[in-house]
Structure 1
């Protein structure tokens, strides 16, 4: 007989590095698991002992911040007459992210475009953990429902996405694409009614 899956909840540790810290999102999961009477274990993570994951530059943490917001407005828009404006705003957010990825960071040699692998340098950081899952959803949903792919002209963004696809930490944690499509099936169904145009190659 197969054993029940073991569930481990990793949550932010408090200042003492051991007890449960202040994190509403972790507490929410903690409560849900408890209410459902699911067997699980708690592991507190001392964030101060993991500086390697922290971004060196605060700008890296906010780069691409508006992409998912503009994407949501674009893909969920039910009004054909507003589609062009939503598409333009979404593309502008992608361009801004591309510009950040192509602009050399202070520790680089200053040559343009930057050749760094990720948002903050050549190592994955929390900034990438925040952004890459959202970009994955953006890619899958836009390609399937809007016939949209990231323009090749956005070389920094394309480089970033290609580098991410070489990382097992990213690729092995991506959900199945069919699950993503299913999650957006109802909210993105309007695109088929008026044939959203691809902006690839602009």
Structure 2
């Protein structure tokens, strides 16, 4: 596990041991490249984002630890026998029912979700939606399977694009910054890490690009990149691509190598994080917000009017 963990409780002092504020350790998958920095597991980033926002809202105090996938510590393997990520271990404090969380270690992914709900006092938007039938989360919860299938040639590009179009349509009809309002919600913490995989790995392996016509989706991504809970929990692009590379069957690896996709993500290579939308799309969004033309167009029109006078 990395160092002494990272305290991201919004720069606040950690509560003392008698405090009722829930305090816990969050364990996420480490990088497959250096085995120390944050890895590309989307579920790990989802839990990291939830914890980050809860800490910002003074609901919790937590430290995040990265766990090597090559050689996890023996004591951690004893704790996390189910091999779930993210994994949490309660340190001190009480949950919303007034029960101590000291020593609590959820043994399934669903129980980890329950844990996050149990330490969430003041952020109803970060709780899991109970009825998914008509909820946007219910329309996108299969996006990981769709994307993985697309990368492996088992699902068509159209299936993935159709789901992304649902997101764009939802944002258009809601008129909100994020999926459920103007602040990040549980649904955003679920979807955004997976959209990052589509943007980065989709382009790397399949040359896939989200259509520039999905302006509401791209505006959503731009606002998300401006949110620390998302931008500061992002994995490196190289690690994200290696995350998928290690899951490809041998025949696909051979195919990609023939197409000059080498799949080499060494520690010697400079790392990069995609944390902004493409410049051309950003200009298009700015142009649309200015009534269909940009400031340069305004300057040209003004000069033409002056010359006519």
TM-score by length of 2: 0.45
CA shift in 2, pair 1:95/1:172, >3 Å: same
In the alignment, the residues of structure 1 paired with residue 122 and residue 107 of structure 2 have an alpha-carbon distance, to the nearest angstrom, of 17
What SS class does the counterpart of residue 103 from structure 1 fall into? helix
Q: Report the alpha carbon displacement of residue 93 of structure 1 after superposing the two structures with TM.
A: 1.4
| RMSD, aligned CA | 3.4
5+ residue gaps in structure 2? 7-24, 27-87, 261-309
2:241 aligned to 174, 181, 190, which one?
181
- In the alignment, what sits opposite 1:18? 100
> How do residues 80-91 of structure 1 correspond to structure 2 at under 5 angstroms?
86-91=156-161
Deviations 1:53-103 (A, max 9, x none): 2478961433422322211110012xxxx6xx6111111111122111211
**Larger displacement relative to structure 2 (123-132 or 85-94):** 85-94
Q: Which has the higher contact order (CA 8 A, sep 6+)?
A: 1
Equivalent residues of 2:96, 2:121 under 8 A apart? no
- In the alignment, what sits opposite 1:107? none
Q: Report the alpha carbon displacement of residue 17 of structure 1 after superposing the two structures with TM.
A: 4.2
2:228 aligned to 150, 161, 168, which one?
168
> How do residues 116-131 of structure 1 correspond to structure 2 at under 5 angstroms?
116-131=176-191
Q: Report the alpha carbon displacement of residue 26 of structure 1 after superposing the two structures with TM.
A: 8.2
**Larger displacement relative to structure 2 (133-142 or 90-99):** 90-99
- In the alignment, what sits opposite 1:109? none
Q: Does 1:5 align with 2:42?
A: no
In the alignment, the residues of structure 2 paired with residue 52 and residue 100 of structure 1 have an alpha-carbon distance, to the nearest angstrom, of 17
In the alignment, the residues of structure 2 paired with residue 193 and residue 91 of structure 1 have an alpha-carbon distance, to the nearest angstrom, of 26
Structure 1 ranges of 4+ moved more than 4 A: 10-14, 55-58, 191-195
Equivalent residues of 2:139, 2:163 under 8 A apart? no
Equivalent residues of 1:52, 1:125 under 8 A apart? yes
CA shift in 2, pair 1:96/1:192, >3 Å: farther
- In the alignment, what sits opposite 2:123? 50
CA shift in 2, pair 1:172/1:139, >3 Å: same
- In the alignment, what sits opposite 1:95? 165
CA shift in 2, pair 1:21/1:46, >3 Å: farther
Equivalent residues of 1:14, 1:22 under 8 A apart? no
> How do residues 102-121 of structure 1 correspond to structure 2 at under 5 angstroms?
102-104=172-174, 114=175, 116-121=176-181
CA shift in 2, pair 1:96/1:44, >3 Å: closer
In the alignment, the residues of structure 1 paired with residue 164 and residue 234 of structure 2 have an alpha-carbon distance, to the nearest angstrom, of 21
Equivalent residues of 2:127, 2:186 under 8 A apart? yes
- In the alignment, what sits opposite 2:147? 71
